[in-house]
Structure 1
């Protein structure tokens, strides 16, 4: 595997991982990995406010990770790129391989963020 280590390539990678670093956005991505959904569906399933879900979906859409399919007055959102599923699967494999090391990280661990 070759990674683009240029400043531009690293900046893009940082932006990608930042877009996925928020728990709400990651929950939305994980839900959309199972199939398309409307904001109303996401609100119901995630138990969050409509304005919160809409803002996070807009962020994911602006990052070209999520796309919307209008149908009448509704918009059905889905993952824009199948590679995102591969990234999530790789992240899960990495988490399984490292055990709780990432969760216990003194800088970014779950204990610091209150999760």
Structure 2
């Protein structure tokens, strides 16, 4: 469901599925490594080995994040010999979204990173809790 439908007339659209779809989409953007991969793919197609080398991430990490991004419909792949080459599914829309996010972040300043629920400290706390479990 399109994001524009979320903000349209609430009587005409059942908001629950639209909001759930939006939350799933934004979950795809919730990891800095996935954002880095998306930004790198905005430059053009890449193999996993290229992304691993360019981004300094482990092959397993890149593959895991590419699988998530593919499952979200944000990237696609095609075979190239024994490798797969990945590209953005909708590069224009993705770049528009990232530009909008940058504008919103500029307006909110440090509020997002300082948020006690989902900011940097909360994320670090969650990671520490998971590591000790």
Single out whichever of 32-41 and 105-114 deviates more from structure 2: 105-114
Change (3 A) 1:2 1:54: closer
| Structure 2 portions without partners, runs of 5+ | 7-13, 125-133
Greater percentage in helix = 2
Q: 2:60 aligns with which of 38, 46, 51?
A: 51
TM-score by length of 1: 0.89
Distance 2:63 2:85 in 1: 12
Structure 1 runs (4+) deviating above 3 angstroms are none
TM-score by length of 2: 0.78
Q: State the Cα distance separating 1:14 from its structure 2 match.
A: 0.6
Distance 2:33 2:16 in 1: 28
- Count of matched residue positions in the alignment of Structure 1 and Structure 2: 114
Q: State the Cα distance separating 1:78 from its structure 2 match.
A: 1.0
Distance 2:73 2:24 in 1: 12
Q: State the Cα distance separating 1:19 from its structure 2 match.
A: 1.1
Between the two structures, name the one with larger relative contact order (CA 8 Å, sep ≥ 6).
1
Match of 1:13 in 2: 22
1:34 is paired with a residue of what secondary structure? coil
Larger Rg: 2
Q: 1:42 aligns with which of 32, 45, 51?
A: 51
Q: How does 1:66-105 map to 2 (within 5 A)?
A: 66-81=75-90, 82-105=92-115
